[in-house]
Amino acid sequence: MANYNPYDNVLTVMNEAAEILGYSDNDIASLKHPERELKVSFPVVMDDGTTKVFEGFRVQHSTVRGPAKGGVRFHYAVNHDEVKALAAWMTFKCAVVDIPYGGGKGGVICNPSKLSERELHEITKQFTIAIAPLIGPEKDIPAPDVGSTPAMMGWMMDTYSMLQGHTVRGVVTGKPVEIGGSLGRTEATGRGVMFSTNNVLDKLGIDRKGTTVAIQGMGNVGSISASLLYQEGMKVVAVSNSSGGVYNKDGLNIPAIIDYLSDRKNLLSEYNEEGLVHISNEELLELDVKVLIPAALENQINESNADRIKASVIIEAANGPTTAEADEILASKGVVLVPDILANAGGVVVSYFEWVQNLQCISWTEEDVNTKLKNIMDPAFDAVWDISKENNVSLRTGAYLIAIKRVVEAKKLRGL
């Protein structure tokens, strides 16, 4: 695959939306550059007694609408441009659902699947110490992302708290519930994907019962999305993860697959059920399904495969799964795409709820959290849908019209 720089995608769509909004280059100049970036390296003693130096990043793209907010990615291929793009997407994601945050993101170059729990704990602790001057409940609030877990968020919260000399729950979201995490946070991104899917199918007049869907990625977001859409009566015919994919034209047994994958030693490429065939990740993207949900990494749908995509609806559960070139190809084919900054915003919305609960020392019921999430996601979807129709642009551009306007107007009102 060509070497795409995801930050170029951010700039392309930002420029397009700013032009429609009538903003000058001056209005959006600062948005093209992250406000603050930190690159860190730190030593960790590994289980075999050797000392290894790890590298990481924390990028604060914008704090115009509130503290920087966004996850920390633990992945062997994470890099500076990727974290920059992910941080910018957080700014626009928080703006499109109108929660009082800017955008940030972190990354640690490591392969969590090859590390012991002790090594992972140590890496998380040392990374937190290294970025501690930047973070805080009023400054920048990390959360889980690809390769990071609630347990790791607990360790981050603990490390930051030790440095402060008292417990600071609101410094990190996505924590275990017992130490200040919110009920419903683990499922929140997938639940938001489900709301987005239902909303777009309703607008298009497509009955969700029996509608075929393929999902790339069976991490937290992909598996919860698969499970909720399965419960909604959709026919999930294909799922995949880094080990490969599985396809069943009659619909997969999603609860059985999730149960199978709950043992982390089990490989999806070795899973079997009647009528199932094994496929590659590339083949999954090109299946003849109604709905395609990329829920893995960036740049999966690009100029080399976009014209072979057969789905008529795409829900971007991952951040940045579609390149700007692919966007154009898909639009010319009439594909309706719900963009990442809207489709996967459920996670950060419930992170916001977690932070609000932490700051007030209260806890909401799961039902309350899920209802509040829906009450944010559904109107945000309608607003993006309406503005896209009014301007005759894609849902992605529509989402950016709303987001960029909110950020630029906040900047102007603050006199920045």
Which residues of the shown chain bind ligand GLU in the complex (CB under 6 A)? 69-71, 93, 143, 145, 173-174, 319, 344, 347-348, 351
CA distances from 37 to 59, 84, 93, 106, 309 (A): 4, 9, 19, 10, 37
Task: Give the residue with the Cβ less far from ligand GLU, 217 or 393.
Answer: 217
221 near 71, Cβ under 8 Å?
Answer: no
Output the smallest distance, CB 310 to ligand GLU, in A.
27
Residue of 69, 84, 93, 105 marked active site: 105
Ramachandran quadrant class, 334 (left: phi over 0; alpha: psi -120 to 50; beta: rest) = left
In DSSP terms, which residues pair with 415 in a beta bridge? none
Report H helices in 250-307.
254-261, 281-285
Task: Give the residue with the Cβ less far from ligand GLU, 148 or 240.
Answer: 148
Lookup: tokens for 95: 């703006």
247 near 276, Cβ under 8 Å?
Answer: yes
Output the smallest distance, CB 382 to ligand GLU, in A.
21
**Cα–Cα distance, 128 to 71 (Å, whole number):** 13
Output the smallest distance, CB 228 to ligand GLU, in A.
17
Output the smallest distance, CB 332 to ligand GLU, in A.
28
**What's the full length of the chain, in residues?**
416
At residue 8, φ and ψ (nearest 5 deg) are -65, -35
Task: Give the residue with the Cβ less far from ligand GLU, 6 or 70.
Answer: 70
Lookup: tokens for 338: 């719900």
Output the smallest distance, CB 143 to ligand GLU, in A.
3
Query: Which residue has the closest beta carbon to ligand GLU?
Result: 71
Relative to beta strand 140-141, strand 68-69 is parallel
Task: Give the residue with the Cβ less far from ligand GLU, 44 or 395.
Answer: 395
Residue 374 annotated among the catalytic residues of the structure: no
Lookup: tokens for 387: 């503005």
Task: Give the residue with the Cβ less far from ligand GLU, 135 or 329.
Answer: 135
Q: Which residues are part of the catalytic machinery?
A: 105
